[in-house]
């Protein structure tokens, strides 16, 4: 087994959190959509702390494409990963 670098260890730590963040973002986007459905675009409300919220249509959002990505084999309990087990074996790794 090889020794992992600091950059590799940091990536692994963050990659494990990525699924949690993705789930949060998806839930947040559903909540925004539900709110717009409920009060409409331009609708508004105030919370108990005094913060005022208003729904709006996004203006001027840029599309962002990542230049790099890191694919990986599945983790325990996952059905699949983005890196095929066959490819990992071809790279010389022992995977099940």
Please provide the distance, in angstroms rounded to a whole number, between the alpha carbons at the two ends of the chain. 15
58 compared with 17, residue with greater pLDDT = 17
Mean pLDDT of 46-55: 90
pTM of the entire predicted model: 0.65
d(CA 45, CA 40): 12
Q: Is residue 66 very low, low, confident or very high in pLDDT (cuts 50, 70, 90)?
A: confident
Q: What angle do CA 26, 27, 32 make, to 5 degrees?
A: 95
Domain ranges of the chain: 1-58, 65-96
């Amino acid at each position: 087994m090889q020794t992992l670098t600091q950059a590799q260890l940091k990536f692994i730590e963050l990659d494990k959190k990525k699924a949690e963040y993705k789930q949060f973002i998806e839930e947040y986007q559903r909540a925004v959509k539900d709110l717009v459905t409920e009060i409409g675009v331009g609708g508004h409300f105030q919370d108990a702390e005094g913060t005022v919220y208003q729904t709006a249509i996004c203006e001027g959002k840029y599309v962002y494409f990542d230049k790099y990505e890191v694919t990986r084999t599945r983790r325990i309990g996952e059905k699949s990963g983005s890196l095929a087990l066959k490819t990992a074996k071809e790279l010389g790794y022992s995977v099940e």
